[in-house]
């Protein structure tokens, strides 16, 4: 067997090996950004462009040159200078593509109260715009997920799970996997489970999400109550 055959054989052997898994570009960017910040190394060469864009120093329509690494570097440095305040101001006018990109990376940060409110307001706007994609809605949900403002999250997520787009698997996954702690509020869990039961991807999606939720003791207890799926249901 020659060298090329050996290489191909190794690739076949490793393709399904969990230890050879390559994370998504977004997660790799977030990891690298956090690592350089933690070790006090400079941000990547893409940071300056991302910072200029998301703080309003560049044309909102000229986002083509933005990369995940630069956006991730910006997100982990929200507490530097006026980054957070400037992003909060810009969030209302960002085009859908860069908005989706930074929202998905904000799940690796902890938005302050003002930024949480801005994300929530933009999410409300997106829910009322028929042209908003499920991916954008899901990304905005992820962007809110690490906020400490539970009241704001419960309010906007209740709006999300009661919207038509909530039946999309992308939105369901964002709420269930990133906002599971907020789902422990019964007023949010009930409409979420009702929407999950009629999701667009069918039984397989329902089974997968419920299986994951059952590993969380509080959610398992709440989900097993008769009233979880029907507020009018009486105890057994």
Q: Sketch the domain layout of the chain as residue ranges.
A: 21-109, 110-236
Q: Which of 194, 198, 202 is nearest to 229 (CA)?
A: 194
The residue with tokens 């059952």 is 214
Tens-place pLDDT, residues 11-22:
554 455 444 445
Q: Cα(66)–Cα(95) distance, rounded to whole angstroms?
A: 13
Other CB atoms within 10 Å distance of the CB of residue 182: 20
Give the per-residue pLDDT at 111.
96
Spell out the residues 6+ positions from residue 85 whose beta carbon is closer than 8 angstroms to its own.
Answer: 114
Q: Cα(20)–Cα(141) distance, rounded to whole angstroms?
A: 30
Give the per-residue pLDDT at 128.
96
Burial of 9 (0-12, 13-18, 19+ CB in 10 A): exposed
Enter the tokens of residue 48.
Answer: 């300056």
Give the per-residue pLDDT at 21.
43
Q: Cα(196)–Cα(188) distance, rounded to whole angstroms?
A: 12
Tens-place pLDDT, residues 88-126:
999 999 999 999 999 999 999 999 999 999 999 999 999
Burial of 44 (0-12, 13-18, 19+ CB in 10 A): middle
pLDDT in single tens digits along all 236 residues of the chain: 454 454 454 455 445 544 444 557 888 999 999 999 999 999 999 999 999 999 999 998 989 889 899 999 999 999 999 999 999 999 999 999 999 999 999 999 999 999 999 999 999 999 999 999 999 999 999 999 999 999 999 999 999 999 999 999 999 999 999 999 999 999 999 999 999 999 999 999 999 999 888 888 777 666 665 555 554 433 32
């Amino acid at each position: 067997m020659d060298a090329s055959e050996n290489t191909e054989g190794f690739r076949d052997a490793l393709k399904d090996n969990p230890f050879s898994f390559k994370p998504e570009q977004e997660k790799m960017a977030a990891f690298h950004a956090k690592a350089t910040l933690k070790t006090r190394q400079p941000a990547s060469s893409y940071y300056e462009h991302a910072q200029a864009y998301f703080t309003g120093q560049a044309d909102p329509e000229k986002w083509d040159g933005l990369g995940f690494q630069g956006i991730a570097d910006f997100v982990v440095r929200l507490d530097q200078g006026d980054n957070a305040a400037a992003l909060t101001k810009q969030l209302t006018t960002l085009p859908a593509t860069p908005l989706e990109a930074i929202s998905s990376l904000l799940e690796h940060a902890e938005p302050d109260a003002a930024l949480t409110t801005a994300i929530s307001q933009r999410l409300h706007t997106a829910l009322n715009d028929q042209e908003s994609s499920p991916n954008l809605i899901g990304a905005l949900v992820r962007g809110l997920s690490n906020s400490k403002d539970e009241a704001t999250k419960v309010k906007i997520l209740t709006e999300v799970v009661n919207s038509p787009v909530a039946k999309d698997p992308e939105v369901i996954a964002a709420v269930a996997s990133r906002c599971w702690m907020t789902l422990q509020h019964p007023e949010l869990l009930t409409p979420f489970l009702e929407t999950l039961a009629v999701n667009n991807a069918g039984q397989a999606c329902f089974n997968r999400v419920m299986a994951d939720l059952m590993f969380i003791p509080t959610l398992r207890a709440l989900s097993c109550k008769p009233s979880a799926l029907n507020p009018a249901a009486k105890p057994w």
